[in-house]
Structure 1
Amino acid sequence: MEKIVVVDDEREIADLVALYLKNSGYNVITFYNSIEARDYIMKNPPDLAILDIMMPELDGLELLKEIRETHYYPIILLTAKDQELDIITGLTLGSDEYITKPFKPLELVARTKALLRRSKVYEKINDRQKSIFIYKDLVIDYNNRECFINEEKLQLTNTEYKILEILLKNCGQKISSEDLFFQATGESYYDKACNSIATHIRNIRIKLGDSFDNPKYIKTIWGEGYIIEREN
């Protein structure tokens, strides 16, 4: 269940907002004091926060500013109609939406749902981007265990993929044949394993269309192992 924090020193408004959100299936935590809300939020970040701008002790804009120093979940500001400057300031500081008082509770619920849906989409996109690593014209998708060269999918065996993944994740670091063999297969190194790794490296180079004499991707450090050098 998604958690929403509502912060408003006007109890009637805060309780009304909380009631409608709870009826829509959300876990709602209500604060009438912005200092208490800040202390809670910093330790227990919600999925979305609704902040009133005009509050004593710590106003909604200051609270928004502090939240945005470390967290990026959606935030809705509640503001009076004549607070145009506060609205602009809030959007500049990183609020995602604002609603002017008096407002229709169902509209607030609708905007909340829309922001949470959008947030989930962004999270998926970010996760997808984090799973992709690009090196020159080679692209590896760690989540789907796929590699592409010049936008064409490489047909790698499981061991070949694992070797390439290990070298790319350790870009700029030399990996010995022993370590490559163990990490790629999970088996203990043995006398002929070195030849096995060399054969896999050769096959990977062929599939990459790489040169054996002056490889662009996997370089051999004779007697020590293999490396994919960092890009300049």
Structure 2
Amino acid sequence: MDSPLASLLDLFATPGNRQMLWLTARVALAGTLLHALSGLALGYALARPGWRGRNLLDIAVTLPLVFPPMATGFLLLLLLGRRGPLGEVLQQWFGIAPVFAFSGLLIAAFVAGLPLVVKPVQAAFESLPKILPEAARTLGKNEWQIFCYVLLPNIRNALAGGLILALGRSLGEVGMTMMLGGNIEGRTVTASLDIYNAVTSGDFERAAAVSLLLGLISSGLFFLLRRNARAPLGW
């Protein structure tokens, strides 16, 4: 039996394995970009009290934290499938089939990690002194300038920490990924699904190798998270 390290090196030796790893990386990179944009927008919106629909949006964002991933994936499948209310519209009007494709994997990663970005960003916005934007307004700055040059530098630590947590969460997602991606070999199998498939087929060496790879990545993310927690404001 090969050692986990030797099996890990073997992962990069075949085109099929490299395709699986590249697919995982693409989902992670695209998901991080979406998390950054959506986390800022939703965190900022939820930090502003008193507008209609705020509580409903807060519930929708937070729900994936407490709802079972497989059940969340099933609900998304009903919504985005070919016969779903949103999936049918996307298929007929734009020719987009969101599930059983890269888009399904991206949606699963996005939904899984979103609350881990939004909630820290929301808390950071809420903790900022109200005098900061008010002082900027008295100096003639518009709302966009206030957001970019006053608010954003003061919440970037929270954003960075949330993105690290969301990336780790999305890399390990299985339930929603399986529901929306379909677990199709060569097309929608990411690293976390590859571990599941290896275990169910009895290939424990492969499962150990991919687990080791994700473990190394997770250790790196943990190091970044600790470094970010010790960083001064505005790092």
TM-score, with length taken from structure 2: 0.26
Of Structure 1 and Structure 2, the greater strand share is in 1
TM-score, with length taken from structure 1: 0.26
Q: Which has the larger radius of gyration?
A: 1
